[in-house]
Amino acid sequence: MTIIQVENISKKYIIDHQKKARGPMGFRDVFSHYSKMAFNGAYRREVAEASNEKEEFWALRDVSFDITAGDRVGIVGHNGAGKSTLLKVLSRITEPTTGRVTLKGRVASLLEVGTGFHPELSGRENIYLNGAILGMKKEEIRRQFDAIVDFSGTEKFLDTPVKRYSSGMYVRLGFAIAAHLEPEIMIIDEVLAVGDAEFQRKCLGKMKDVSDSGRTILFVSHNLTAVQSLCNKAIFMQKGRLIEYGETGHVMGSYMNKVSQTELVQEWENPVTAPGNDQVRLKRVEVIPDYLTDQRRLDTRTPLTLQFEFWNLLEKADLNLSLHFNAISGETIFNIATPVIHCKQGLVRAETTIPGGFLNDGVYTLSVMIVKDMATPIFQVPETVVIKVEDFRENVAWYGKWPGAVRPRFPFSIQQVEEEVPA
């Protein structure tokens, strides 16, 4: 049975480009401006034209698909691909400019941190509020109340206004409400990246349980391993358009093959919205290839510089960064870590280099973990950037697939020690 039907939806935004004043305006400037506005028609037209420069931006263009009840659908694509806008349209938060969406059943959404919460109400009151919005009776909410509180771990703060909650507490409570109030359709955005690794695993397990009960899940994530393990179908978005929709393995393969070699960076300008928690926030992850030719071809010979930046929000802490280099299958190829440094609040930067001739050809993802006191992981991003390494060989006649995850060039001697074969 089709539970979600999306027919040719597009979403357009109008961006205003207003000219800013070149500097502070004194009294004389202000008086002159308003005098001209009152008596000079040409000046009024000039100001109006300068302040009304508009640009159309299409976040979605002609997107169509059907989802069957019980499907677990992962949505992948780079930042700006239209994933979050699509979820907002499906959640009825925003209306499409064109097209139509048909939903059968109740929808529970977990989008930006704090969405759906009233900041002045307590955690307890927000649980009942969210249930009422879903159309549930008070008795239905009461039956799930203890399970929601237990899953979220917010019992001590249940009667505290949620405006005093941390971002992690928001996410834990929001997910617990969405998962336990038994909606037919559950929509989850990348906000799970705010939580710690243990909570992420807990959420993924719960989403699988929800799906096994016959409910439908839409899941936006940069965690490609999570998408592959949880979802039976996937949607690949790019620049507002649906590129491919189908079986997860096939779509993920297409996504990986279309990864641009020039899009080797993930960056967040605002620590409030960046992935992280109350202790650290990720700012930037970048792969900088040392291209050997003008063709800017990233192949097995190419040295790679890896740069990382994160904001430390702790007053004082002994921190180090751990890097997991993963195959597309999710298997970790190797793990390296920085030395421990004593950090105050502020920006921390780390860098390392993978020499040329070490990696085999293939598609890889980088996972970043920030560790406190050499023992306690305080935040992990499962997949940050994707690297596609092409093959290169010379003076080799065999061109089958080179086995293994790496192909290092260790010193390796060979010589003939005898010129006769024993009879």
Q: What is the DSSP letter of 374?
A: T
| Residue that is written with structure tokens 């970048």 in the block | 286
Q: Which residue stretches of 213-318 are H helix? A: 224-230, 248-257
Q: Where are the domains of the chain?
A: 57-257, 265-389
Read off the pLDDT band of 261 (50, 70, 90): very low
pLDDT digits (tens, 9 = 90+) for 309-346: 999 999 999 999 999 988 766 678 899 999 999 999 99
pLDDT in tens, 178-209: 888 778 898 888 766 555 667 777 787 888 88
Angstrom distances, CA of residue 151 to CA of 131, 171, 205, 241: 16, 11, 12, 36
- CA-CA distance, 368 to 352, in Å (whole number)? 13
Q: pLDDT category, 110, cuts 50, 70, 90?
A: confident
Torsion of CA 387, 392, 398, 404, to 10 degrees: -30
Structure tokens at 96: 């499409």
What's the CA gap between 94 and 354, in Å, rounded?
45
Please, which pLDDT band fits residue 21 given cuts at 50, 70 and 90?
Answer: very low
Residue type, 360: N
Q: Quick one: pLDDT at residue 343?
A: 93
Q: What pLDDT is stored for residue 408 in this prediction?
A: 83
**Complete edge-to-edge strand list for the sheet that includes strand 2-17:** 53-68, 2-17, 98-103
Single pTM value for the model: 0.60
Q: What DSSP string describes 138-154?
A: HHHHHHHHHHHHHHHT-
In 280-343, alpha helices (H)? none
Q: Please tell me whether residue 256 adopts helix, strand or coil conformation.
A: helix
Sequence letter at residue 275 = P
- In this predicted structure, what is the pLDDT of residue 102? 93
118 band by pLDDT with thresholds 50, 70 and 90:
confident
Please tell me the predicted confidence (pLDDT) of residue 22: 45
Residue found by looking up tokens 């009840």 in the block: 69
**pLDDT computed for residue 20 by the predictor:** 46
Please give the share of the chain, as a percent, with pLDDT higher than 90.
28
DSSP state of 122: B
Q: Is the pLDDT score of 40 beyond 70? A: no
Q: How confident is residue 113, by pLDDT bands cut at 50, 70 and 90? A: low
Residue 80 has pLDDT above 80, yes or no: no
Summarize pLDDT for 265-305 with one digit per residue, the tens: 888 888 888 888 889 999 999 999 998 877 677 888 899 99
Distance in angstroms (rounded) separating the CA atoms of residues 197 and 19: 45
Degrees, nearest 5: CA angle 222-228-230:
100
Q: CATH number of the domain at 57-257, please?
A: 3.40.50.300
Q: How many CA atoms, within 13 angstroms, populate the side-chain half-sphere of residue 325?
A: 20
CB 369 within 8 A of CB 277: no
Angle between the N-to-C axes of helices 197-212 and 167-180, in degrees from 0 to 180, rounded to the nearest 10: 10
CA distance 261 to 173: 39
Return the CATH number of 265-389, one of 2.70.50.60, 1.10.1040.10, 3.30.70.890, 3.40.50.300.
2.70.50.60
The 3-class SS string of 177-214 reads HHHHCCCCEEEECHHHHHCCHHHHHHHHHHHHHHHHCC
pLDDT computed for residue 313 by the predictor: 93
pLDDT at 24: 47
